[in-house]
Chain A
Amino acid sequence: MPSPVDRRPNPEELLRRVQDTERRERRGRLKVFLGYAPRVGKSFRMFDEGRRRKERGQDVVVGALQSEVTPDIAEILARLDVVPSIRTNHAGRTFEVIDLAALFRRHPQVCLIDGLAYDNPPGSRNPQRWQDVSELLDRGMAVITAVNLQHIREQQDEVERITSRRAANSIPQEFLNDADEIEVVDAPPDALLDRTGHKSMPDPRQLAELRELALLLAADVVDRQLQEYLDSHGVAARWGAQERILVCLTPRSNAEAMLQSGRRNKLRFHGALLAAYVEQPDLRPKDREKLDAHLALARELGAEVHQLQGADFVQAILDFAQEQRITQLFLGHTGRPRRLWFGRNPIDRLIDGAEGFDVRLFPHERLQ
C-alpha cells in the first residue's frame, strides 16, 4: 500500500482545525437517528439505544418525548429516568419545552431528546428545540435525538415536490452535518403502511422517493465527514463512493454533448458535476467567446465551474482531478492523426496519469 500523500495545510487552516478540535473536545457527542417518514421507528431505535447504554452503566436521562408514545416505547421509558418537559399554552397552542434548567442541574451523561424539530413558544430561551440541544452539548452532555427528513430545512423543497406538503417546523441541515454520528432508520414503505394504516401517510411511491432522498442525504453527510476526517489527519482526499464527473472545457470542445452527458451521469449516479478550464494567455477573441459560451452552458446545467492555472494543461487537470476525487473525466479530442498522435500528446499523458478515474473522450464537432 503506498503511503498517503502528505498535504500541508496553511496556518489559518491549522488554527481553524485546532479551534474546531478544542470545541469538539469540550462538547458532548451528538447522535441523530434519521427517518424518511413518520413511524419508520426512529424514536424506538433512539430510546432502545438509551436503554442499552443505561444497561451498560451510563447515566441516561430522557429530556423530551413526542406527544404520542407507542406501547413499545412506553415499555422502555418505564426503565429510564425522565426529566419531564414543561407544558405551556401560547395563543391557543400547547407547547412542550425541554426543562433546560432541570437538565443542567441533573447533568446526565446522555440526554435522549425526541422531536428534535419542535418549535418553542415565543419568549422561550431559544426559539427552537435544536438550539436547546446545542446548549446541552455545549455543557458537555451527550445527546441522542431523532428527526424526520421533512423537518430538514434544505430538503423541504424536495419533500414538498414529492408529497405536496411542507412541515412548518424545521432544523438547519448544518446541525445534522455537524453531528458526530447519524444513523439511518430504514424500512420498506409497505411495512410502514402495514404498521399504521394512517390516512395522512404519503402513498407507496411517495414513500419510496422520500426513502431514496433520506438515504442519499445520509450518504452525503457520511461522505463529507469522511473527507473531513481524512483532511484533519493529513491524508489526501481519496476516491470515494460518490461518482464525481469533471468536464474539461476548451474553446474547441464539443461542450454541449460533454456537458449534457455529464449532467445525465450526475443525475443517474446522484453524483457531482464539475467543469474546469485551464486559463490560457493570448486566447484569440473568437476562442474566448466560444469558451465563455461553454462556461455559461456549464453553469446553466448546474456544473460547478472552476478556473485552473498552470503552464502545463495536463498537470493542472490531473492535480485538480486528484484533489476533487474525480471518478470520470470528460475530455474533447480532434481525432486528427499525426499532429495529435505524434509522440506523447496531451491526451495520452492525461490517460497515463489518470489514477483512479476513467477518461471519456468526446470527438470535437467536425470543422465545416
Chain B
Amino acid sequence: MTPAAKGRLKIYLGYAAGVGKTFRMLEEAQEIKQKGVDLVIGYFEPHGRKETIAKTEGFEIIPRRILSYAGSDFEEMDTDAILKRKPAIALVDEFAHTNVPGSERVKRWQDVHVLQEAGIDVVTTMNVQHLESLNDQVFHATGIRVRETVPDWVVDEADELVFVDLTPRALRNRLDRGVVYGPEKARHAMENFFTETNLTALREMALRHTAHEVEEKLGTTGDDAASPSAGAQTVPPPTGRSDRILICLTGRPSSAILIRRGKRVADYLHADCLAIHVGENTFDREAVERHMSFARNLRIETHVIEGRDVARLLTDFARTQRITQIFMGRSLPRPWWKRFRESIPQQVVRQARDMQITIVAERRR
C-alpha cells in the first residue's frame, strides 16, 4: 500500500472574533457535502452563536475528548478518533488554539498536521493577530499582547487562505445585538479590544497579509516586475545578489522583537535568515537559549559563538556567511564614563562597512 498523499489545508482568515469565519467555513462545507464528499466536523467552537450552531445541522461531529488538568476538565479535539474515522475532509475550528497541558501536542496546528499526514484535508479558521510575525505590530496598534501565536511558515504552507471580511461597524453592531458575546462580555469587549480603531488596524493587517500570501502563491520570487501593484514601471527592478539577513540575539527580552522583525523582512524580501549569539556571559544563557529555540521554531538557522570581542566576531562571521544586512537591537543606555567607548552596534557599524546594519526599535504603545 502506498502512503496517502498529504491532505490539503485551507484557512479562513479573519481579524476578530465574530466576523463570521466559522459560519463561512460551514456554509462552504455544506456545498461540498452536497456533492457527496465524506466530510466531518473534527472540532467546532459554538461560542453560543445560534446562527452558526444552526449551520452544523446535518454534519457528523466527532466527539471531543475530555482531559483533566489542575482539577478541571477540558475538552479538546480528539485527533485519534478523527484519524480512526478517516474522512476525506475534517473541519477544525480555531487553528491557533493551545491544547491543555497533558495533550500529545502543544498546539492545535500540530494536530492538524497529523491529520494532513494521514491524508485528510483540513479546513480551519484563525485570526490574523495570531500570526507570529505580526505580534509586535498588533501590540503597537491595539495594546494587546497576543499569547497564542502560530509561526508564519505554518500559515504559508496552507494550500488556500481566504479572507473573511466584515466591516468594523458591522462587527460592532453584531456585538451590540448580542450575536457574538453575552451582554456583559460584549460591553467590555467594545470598550477594550473591539474599538473601531483596533478593529480597523487588524483588518488592514489581515487584508495585507492575505494579499501577501496570494502573491507568494503566484511564485514571483525575485521577480518584482510581476507584482501587481508595481504599476507601469519605467525603471527595471533592482537585480543583484539576493539578501542574507543575520539577526544578533542577546538574552534581553527585546530579542524576541528583533527575531520577529528580522524574519518578517527576510520573508518579504525572499532573503535567507540566520540568527547568532556572540558572547561569553553565562548569566543569561537560559534566556539566550529560549530566544534561540524561538528562532528555530520560526525556521531560522541559529549559531552561537563564544568570545570576548563581540563586534569583531560578529563581523567576521557575517562576512564568511556573505551576510548583506545585520539586524541588531538598540544598545542599552550607558553611564557617561562608558560613552567615550563605542557601543557594540557602533563598533559593528564601523567594522562591517560592506554590509547594512538595521537597528530595530522596540515597538511600544
Residues on A facing B (Cβ under 8 Å): 1-2, 31, 157-158, 161-162, 180-188, 205, 208-213, 215-216, 218-219, 222-223, 225-226, 229-230, 238-242, 260-261, 263-265, 267-270, 300-302, 333, 335-337, 341-344, 347-348, 351-352, 354-363, 366
Contacts and interface: CB of A to CB of B under 8 A. Distances in A.
A222 B203 contact: yes
Contacts, number: 182
B321 interface: no
A1 B204 contact: no
Contact of B350 (A209, A239, A335): A335
Interface in B257-305: 261, 265, 268-270
A357 B268 CA distance: 17
A208 B169 CA distance: 28
B103 interface: no
Given A212-B214, A241-B137, A270-B229, A361 B165 contact: no
Contacts of B361: 351, 354-359
Contacts of B350: 335-337, 341
B42 to A, nearest CB: 21
Contacts of B164: 186
Contacts of B182: none
A355 B167 contact: no
Interface string B154-193: 0000001011111101100000000000000000000000
A358 B76 CA distance: 41
Nearest to B51: A52
Contact of A209 (B207, B228, B353, B363): B228
Interface stretch (B61-69, B110-118, B232-240): B232-240
A356 B238 contact: no
Nearest to B28: A191
B81 interface: no
A210 B215 CA distance: 10
B143 interface: yes
A208 B161 CA distance: 12
B229 A241 contact: no
B217 A208 contact: yes
Contacts of B360: 358
A356 B218 contact: no
18 contacts: A182-B167, A183-B166, A186-B210, A208-B214, A209-B218, A209-B228, A215-B211, A216-B207, A216-B228, A222-B204, A226-B197, A264-B269, A268-B269, A269-B268, A341-B342, A348-B346, A356-B140, A366-B353
Contact of B162 (A188, A205, A344): A188
Interface of B: 10, 137, 140-141, 143, 160, 162-167, 169-170, 196-197, 200-201, 203-205, 207-208, 210-212, 214-215, 217-218, 224, 227-235, 237-238, 261, 265, 268-270, 325, 330, 339-340, 342, 345-346, 349-350, 353-354, 356-361, 363-365
Given A212-B215, A219-B211, A351-B330, A267 B165 contact: no
Given A181-B170, A222-B207, A158 B201 contact: no
Contacts of A366: 353
A218 B214 CA distance: 15
Contact of B358 (A161, A209, A241, A361): A361
Given A219-B211, A240-B141, 13 more contacts: A161-B232, A180-B169, A181-B170, A185-B165, A186-B164, A229-B200, A263-B235, A268-B269, A270-B227, A300-B235, A343-B339, A354-B330, A363-B354
A216 B330 contact: no
